[in-house]
Every structure is written in C-alpha cells, then in structure tokens.
Amino acid sequence: MTRRRTLTRRKRESIAAAFFIGPDLIGLIVFVLLPIAFAVYVSFFDWNLIGPMTFAGISNYQRLMADADWWMSLARTLQFAAIYVPALFALSLALAVAFTKIAGRASQVLRSAYLLPFAVTSVIASTLWMFLYTEKTGYLNAFLNTFGIPDQQYIGSPPQAMVSIVVVVLWINLGYTSLLFFSAIKEIPASILEAARLDGAGGWQTFWRITLPLVRPTSIFVLVTSTIAAFQVLDIILVMTKGGPADATQVGVLYIYQRSFERLEMGYGSALSVVMFLILLVISLVQLRLSRRSNLED
C-alpha cells in the first residue's frame, strides 16, 4: 500500500513536472532546434525563397571558403567582440561594486536608472543615438565643442563607426549586466568580507582575492552570453549604419542577412549561418573549458 502511494505520488510529480517543462520544451524544439536543422538542410541547396530548391551539395561551403567579403565581415565581428565583451565585463563589474558602496534609497534609484535603457527597444535606442551622433546638430558634438573639440563624424567615419556602435550596445546592456554582478556580490557572506578587513586586507585586495573569485559563476555567464550576443548583433547596425560607412560595420550576421533576404541566396545564407553557429559553439566551449580548468587549479 505504501509502495503504491509512493508510485502514485511520483507519477503526480512527473505529470506536474511535464506540465511545467512541456511549454518550454516545445518552444525549444519549434523555435530553436527545428530552425537549426532546417538551416543545415537548406545549406546543401540553391534556393531563392520563391522557386524550387536545387541540390547543390557542398558547393555553398566551398563558396564561403573563397568569399573574401565573408571573412572580412567575420573579422569585423571579432573586432566588435574584442571591444564590447571586455568593456561590458569591466564596466558592469565596476558599476556593481560602486552600487554596493552606496547605501539606502540612492542605490535603488541608480540601479533602476541604469536598467532603464535595457527596457528600450533596439530600434528606439538606435534612433536616439543617431540624433546624438549627428555631426552638425548632435548633442554630443555640441558638448565637445564647449571644450574646443571639433565636430566628430561618429557613425559617418570608418575609424569611429565600430566604436560608436559598441557605445550604443553598452548603453543598452550595461545596467542589466551590472545588476547580475550586484546580485552575485550581495550573496557573498558578510563574515568573509569582515574577516578580510580584520586581516588587514585593503579594498583592492578584498576585491581581487575574495569578491572576484566568488562571483566567478556570474563572470562566466556574462562572458559567454556577451560573446554570443556580440556575434549576433544585427538590428542596431542595420538601423544606424546598414554596414557602412565603407563596410566598416558590416559584421558577419549582417552579411548573412544581406545574402539571405536581400539577394535571396537562402542556401548560401544558411551555409554561412551554420558556420557562424559552429564558431559560436567552439568559442563557448573554449570559454567553459578554461573556466573549469581555472576552478580546478583554485
């Protein structure tokens, strides 16, 4: 009798678990796994999205290997990630530490203020910053002019365009990422920090030897997700520069978008997408492996 009740309870728990997990699992299959499988399938065909598919074998992959424009766009993606990921990590961590030093309602107000850009859609944020970046009438140049600095072109200048895009993406995501670090820092037991102070550890020593190691799981999460986001940035660049000027901001995802939906080369665009997915997979696995090795050494 007791065994039957145990089985019945386990069955109810399994049904409840399936009820809660089911919608997410269905969403994962329909919106993630099936599109990935379909992209892999289409990558072996020539297809203009309208006419019938024509089997092309591995010709799309051979084509991308010799496509200099693709490799240049991929290099610009790496450039964007090399600027954005370290900047986001360092600034958000510094901001989170600063939040912990501010007591009372002021800390809540500041956290809310920094989180507001994250609630703004990318199109609205891009439009706002396009006005700020305007060369002759933009507020940023008006501010710089007060210090005697001449007008800057920002998104109109090939050397400045990529950094200008990075600033916009940082402005959107900095508040959210800093709150992740803030929550992790607040979870550190006060007794550990107090023991460090009693041992004579200064602020920098406490941060480097206690705070940073104890927020490592959050650090790994931020590094992995921000790297993936850096390789997937599209809408902001599409609105602000469309890949210009002089292809200075034509990153990999934008190149895939142009090939797939502007030139209707769906087979080739799918092959590019598969390669981009594999690159992201390798980068994520390397980051996780390095972090795991670091944990074992500690």
**Full pLDDT tens readout for the chain, 298 residues:** 555 555 577 777 777 777 888 888 898 888 888 988 999 999 999 998 888 999 999 999 999 999 999 999 999 999 999 999 999 999 999 998 888 887 667 777 777 777 888 888 888 999 999 999 988 888 899 988 999 889 899 999 999 999 999 999 999 999 899 999 988 988 888 788 778 777 777 777 777 888 888 888 888 889 989 999 999 999 999 999 999 899 999 999 999 999 999 999 999 999 999 999 999 889 888 877 877 766 655 5
pTM: 0.88
In sign, the C-alpha dihedral spanning 157, 159, 162, 166 is negative
Q: Which domains does the chain have, with CATH numbers?
A: 43-297 (1.10.3720.10)
Residues 6+ apart with CB under 8 A from 56: 44, 45, 46, 267
